[in-house]
């Protein structure tokens, strides 16, 4: 249930309001906003413009479906269980991000640095991860069906139990990756490094 009070977007943009739980920011223009350490649990940010926003250490367990997070700073952000379907996350800073159990189907994460990211059990169906760095990322039990991981670096990543049905792994690096219980049936493997 969304809060019914009138939102003061300017105070939100300048980080003066940190408790933003269960509010409706559907389609809001929050580009460049300072939302560091804000709590947006249960909020609706569907289609929101968060380009260049500071979301460091923010709790974003909310609906961000179709939001534009290009250039956003998400270091240490908690996105566990968030709805990120169709989100655009290009040139964003995502160190120490937690995406366990999140829904990222159809998201655009091209060339993103997701090294050490927690993606356990995440829905990554059809995600564009071309050229992404996923070194030491935990992708255990993630659904990567139809995802494009061509030229991605998955060195030492944990893929145990992951679903790779129809996943494009062309020129991907899976050196020292944990692939226990993974089926590469129907996966596109061409010039892929696997050891």
Predicted TM-score (pTM) of this structure: 0.86
pLDDT tens digits, residue range 118-144?
999 999 999 999 999 999 999 999 999
Q: Which of 60, 64, 68 is nearest to 26 (CA)?
A: 64
pLDDT tens digits, residue range 80-111?
999 999 999 988 889 888 999 999 999 999 88
Confidence of residue 191 (pLDDT cuts 50, 70, 90): confident
Q: Backbone dihedral region of 126: left (phi > 0), alpha (psi from -120 to 50 degrees) or beta?
A: left
């Amino acid at each position: 249930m969304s809060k019914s009070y009138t939102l003061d977007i300017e105070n939100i943009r300048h980080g003066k309001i940190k408790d933003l739980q269960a509010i409706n920011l559907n389609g809001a223009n929050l580009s460049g906003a300072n939302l560091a350490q804000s709590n947006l649990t249960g909020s609706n940010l569907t289609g929101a413009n968060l380009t260049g926003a500071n979301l460091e250490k923010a709790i974003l367990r909310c609906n961000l479906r179709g939001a534009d997070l290009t250039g956003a700073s998400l270091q240490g952000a908690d996105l566990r269980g968030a709805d990120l379907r169709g989100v655009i996350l290009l040139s964003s800073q995502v160190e120490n991000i937690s995406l366990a159990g999140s829904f990222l189907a159809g998201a655009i994460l091209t060339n993103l640095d997701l090294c050490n990211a927690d993606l356990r059990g995440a829905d990554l169906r059809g995600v564009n991860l071309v050229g992404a760095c996923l070194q030491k990322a935990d992708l255990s039990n993630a659904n990567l069906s139809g995802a494009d991981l061509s030229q991605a670096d998955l060195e030492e990543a944990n893929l145990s139990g992951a679903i790779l049905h129809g996943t494009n792994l062309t020129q991907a690096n899976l050196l020292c990756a944990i692939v226990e219980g993974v089926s590469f049936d129907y996966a596109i493997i061409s010039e892929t490094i696997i050891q």
